[in-house]
Structure 1
Amino acid sequence: MTPQNTSPLTADFKVYLGSTLFFIYVLFSTPIVGVAILGGFFLPFPTRYKFADIWIDCLLFMLKLCCGLSYEVEGLENIPKNQAAIILSKHQSAWETIALRQIISPQTAVLKKSLLQIPFGGWALATLKPIAIDRSNQKEALKMLLDQGVERLREGLFVLIFPEGTRVAPGAYKKFNAGGAMLANKSGFPVIPLAHNAGEYWPRNSFLKYPGVIQVKIGPMISTQDKSTKDINAEAEAWISQAMLSIANKST
């Protein structure tokens, strides 16, 4: 189990005010950007992707401005320059669903199909080649992950997968699902393990965002050649667990 960061998070007036201002910005900017992306559905994918990039850049700027929350990345040199890969990432917060898109790009993600039904934001997301799965039908969800995942990788897109399947609080442990490792095994594309502590500053299911610097660690590329799905998953999980320990020790 990863130890929790013991530094206290104080929900003072500044935290409430900053979180409120950030929420208002998201609330008003999402329909505007969503309409812009939907209006450009006939444009090439890289152009639509750039629209979303600009919006996310603005979100991260406003997150730092309103809430004092930023991030730093270690291991950028581990991202391959000439091929796509599968990103197996720790999942603690909503932050990584936004920010990782800017850290490793171009990228698509595996997500719940129901998210595409959200007005404006979800509709726009549907035009950006997501891998949207229905978790109520696990057999069909796995087939979609493998079929569409291979297709996206061959198109040159990194595929972001949260193997824990849901947001897990800092210090808690959830066994990795094998879907991402199965995609790596089937496609032959490598895996990039990624750890972070975003949940300490932007807790899951929380309105409040606390000031601080989120630590992101990107691990060495894991080759999938001559490895089983079990071996790939175990190697990624072991690296991420060790990286989370390192982040926790640095934070204390």
Structure 2
Amino acid sequence: MILVRSVIFNIIFYLALVALSLTGLPCLLQDRLAAQNLGRRWGRVSRWLLEKICRTKVEFRGLDHIPQGACIIASKHQSLLETMMLPLHSKDFSYILKRELMFLPFFGWYLRKAGQIGINRAKGSAALTDLTRQASKVLAEGRQIFIFPEGTRRPPGAAPNYKAGVAFLYAASNVPCVPVAVNTGLFWPRRRFLRRPGTVVIEYLEPIEPGLEKRAFMQLLETRIETATNRLMEEAMRNDPTVRQGLVSNAPDVPQEPVSKLAG
């Protein structure tokens, strides 16, 4: 039944994406908020489809931890799902993403119009300078910045791999950083077709106020995100042991923490 529901969901999900991309073209003639609203519409439609077809609910926790105005929101990245869900609680935002995405037809057009930040990773240290320059402009406008500190999706149970970019951004911005923990990869695994039923949790944690030294900030950020993410995954596995199949034990190419540590 999970396979059948996943097939139906994926077909409708991508049809809905194409439909929104075409019907949303007038947004390209409007301001960035119009394009962002289209992105939030995609998130709401996807959330509804997940619940109705796959019986997968999305629960948000800790929304009171999101400050008003400019801040950095640093999220664990296990799945495409949090990419769509995080903007639902932000009025004006910018994602930090690979510059290559900005050149994709339709999708890239909307990213540019929505005021997202594209970074050329091939530039090495120069990319960090470019990141802080673009981010400073966004934060000066009172907007929120989303960043995935590990840079790419990591399957549940994979050993953490946090990059320096988030620390440079934090040090240069003088705004709070809100860590975000998720268990999304158990239900919508990266590079996998199946969508498992259950309750996805996206949890906003206590903000880290500006002023910490970079190394201390990185240690605190990683500890908060990883501790809460492991807790959310353990909770999901207690409620339904079958979601354990979404652990990194099925992805041998990625270094991992002992599964027993997560499974409890």
Q: Is residue 98 of structure 1 aligned with residue 84 of structure 2?
A: yes
* Paired position in structure 2 for 1:32: 19
Task: Find the residue that maps to 2:28 and give its secondary structure.
Answer: coil
Question: What are the ranges of 5 or more consecutive residues in structure 2 without an aligned counterpart?
Answer: 239-264
| Between 17-26 and 154-163, the greater mean CA deviation after superposition | 17-26
Measured in 1, the distance between the counterparts of 2:145 and 2:137 equals: 10
1:20 matched residue in structure 2: 7
1:88 corresponds to 2:93: no
Following superposition, the deviation at residue 246 of structure 1 comes to 2.1
Is residue 193–residue 219 contact of structure 1 (8 Å, CA) maintained in 2? yes
Structure 2 contact 39–84 (Cα < 8 Å) conserved = no
1:221 aligned to which of 204, 207, 212: 207
Aligned residue for 2:104? Answer: 118
Q: Give the SS at the match of 2:29.
A: coil
Alignment of 1:176-191 (within 5 A): 176-191=162-177
Which structure is higher in helix share? 2
Distance in 2, Cα, partners of 1:43 & 1:104: 19
Aligned mates of 2:219, 2:86 — CA distance in 1? 22
Question: 2:229 corresponds to which letter in structure 1?
Answer: M
Whole-angstrom distance in 2 between the partners of 1:228 and 1:172:
27
Question: Residue 23 of structure 1 aligns to which amino acid in structure 2?
Answer: N
Once the two structures are superposed, what CA deviation does each residue of 1:3-31 show, in whole Å capped at 9, x if it has no partner? Answer: xxxxxxxxxxx222222222222322223
Q: How many residues align?
A: 237
Output the TM-score relative to the length of structure 1: 0.87
Looking at structure 2, the residues matched to 55 and 168 of structure 1 have their Cα atoms a distance apart, in angstroms, of 23
SS in 1 for 2:152: coil
In the TM superposition, structure 1's runs of 4+ consecutive aligned residues that sit over 3 Å from their partners are 35-38
1:245–1:130 CA distance, 2 compared to 1 (3 A): same
Name the stretch that deviates more: 100-109 or 129-138: 100-109
What is the root-mean-square deviation of aligned Cα atoms in Å? 1.7
Q: Given that residues 47 and 58 in structure 2 are in contact (C-alpha distance below 8 angstroms), is that contact kept between their aligned partners in structure 1?
A: no
Looking at both structures, which has the greater relative contact order when contacts are Cα pairs under 8 Å and sequence separation is at least 6? Answer: 1
Q: Match of 2:161? A: 175
Amino acid at match of 2:55: G
Q: Which runs of 5+ in 1 are unaligned?
A: 1-13
The answer to whether residue 38 in structure 2 is matched with residue 41 in structure 1 is no
- How far the C-alpha of 1:39 sits from its partner, in A, is 2.5
State the Cα distance separating 1:85 from its structure 2 match. Answer: 0.7
